[in-house]
Homo-oligomer: A and B are copies of this chain.
Amino acid sequence: MKLRCAVAGATGIAGQQFLVALQSHPWFEVVRLAGSERSAGKTYRHAITSPSGQIGWNVAEPMPSQFAEMAVVEGSKLDLSGLDLVFTAVESDAAKALEPIYAAELPTISTASAFRYETDVPILIPAVNGDQSALIRVQQEHRKWKGFVVPIPNCTTTGLAVALAPLHQTFGLEKVIMTSMQAVSGAGRSPGVIALDVIDNVIPYIPKEEEKVQTEVKKILGKLVGGVVIEPDPVQVSATCTRVGVLDGHFETATVALSRPATMDQVKAAMQTFGRDMTPATHPSAPERWITVHDDPYRPQPRRDRDADRGMTTSVGRLREETVLGPHGVKFVLLSHNTKMGAAMGAVLVAEDLLKRGFIKQR
């Protein structure tokens, strides 16, 4: 018997990605959908159809037919009885209101930033910091919740944190300077990124994005001290985040100062062996390879590589020694699928890991 879940924010792009990620999941089954007030009381198909007849399905994969006629309820009226967990894909303000309601009763895995920076909330990427899940007990005790909230990182953080994790473990990290070229799908549809802004253009600013990346990387790579508090890693991170006319796939350039010497072969090996004990054999949504290292200097490219390994691998290329930032260092480019690994499917992977760790169970 599968665990019964709800998806809140099911009509947005991130919510649609959840429906795709969960449509034939071996462990989880979506049995309820929540949306905005505007959608409440409609079937799912109706809720995403505009008055002029446009079906607002914004994901590459076809809409899973099993959800078309499912009813959508308003988020705050979601019936939690009989559910085992909730996935939320709502805006930050809505998350602040809704997630405590869900978490009081149920495990709640969230793509929103609302709780990411709370001291009793871990931001999880299973192969990177799955052990930080121990903080869930602290959260439950502190907030008197039967469930909990666990957010995934910002989609720009995810690829960087995954690529840095093996370097952190193997050589130590001192400093990171990153520039992102982010895809438009991250901004959704309402209002989303306007075509006028990205055709033949680059937008040099995404509000709050750089701060999120800088804070989250340090927390994710931090140490869980005494099982009760995360001490952020001392690595210094500087990010510049831009938007380009790419549909999906956040591309980043990174320059990294390591604590200890490393040859490029050692860096490559550390990346390629990272996460090898967490694969589809153990976690259905995990990638075969957490990091794919390209030798072709023209790769990775967003359009040609974002869907590799079902959009769950972090693609790295152009590994080069670099000593400008520190005596030991490396620079490289990376690509992470912002709406797969960086959103819904990444959140499902977190749920899988929390199930294996006993934080989520059939009720």
Binding site for B on A (CB under 8 A): 52-55, 58, 60, 175-177, 179, 181, 184-185, 189-205, 207, 236-238, 240, 242, 244-247, 251, 253, 255, 295-304, 317-318, 322-325, 331, 333
Contacts and interface: CB of A to CB of B under 8 A. Distances in A.
Contact of A325 (B52, B297, B325): B325
A193 B333 CA distance: 21
B200 A196 contact: no
A196 B186 CA distance: 10
B253 A52 contact: no
Contacts of A297: 52-54, 204-205
A309 to B, nearest CB: 11
Contacts of A58: 196
- Tell me whether chain A's interface is mostly helix, strand or loop, or mixed: mixed
Nearest to A255: B177
Given A177-B255, A191-B191, A325-B325, A55 B296 contact: yes
A200 B202 contact: no
6 contacts: A60-B304, A175-B324, A177-B177, A181-B244, A202-B302, A244-B245
B240 A331 contact: yes
A355 to B, nearest CB: 31
Contacts of A302: 200-202
Nearest to A62: B308
A166 B58 CA distance: 31
A181 B323 CA distance: 22
A322 B255 CA distance: 15
**Interface core residue of A58, A190, A304 (most chain B CB under 10 Å):** A304
B301 A204 contact: yes
Nearest to A333: B204
A246 B203 CA distance: 12
Contact of A201 (B194, B237, B246): B246
Contacts of A200: 199-200, 245-247, 302-303
A295 B55 CA distance: 10
Contacts of A295: 53
A317 B203 CA distance: 11
Contacts of A303: 199-201, 247
B325 A238 contact: yes
**Interface core residue of A201, A236, A322 (most chain B CB under 10 Å):** A201
Contacts of A301: 197, 201-204
**Interface core residue of A199, A244, A302 (most chain B CB under 10 Å):** A199
A181 B198 contact: no
A245 B199 contact: yes
By Cβ-Cβ distance, the 5 closest A-B pairs, closest first, are A179-B179, A238-B324, A201-B303, A205-B297, A54-B298
Nearest to A183: B200
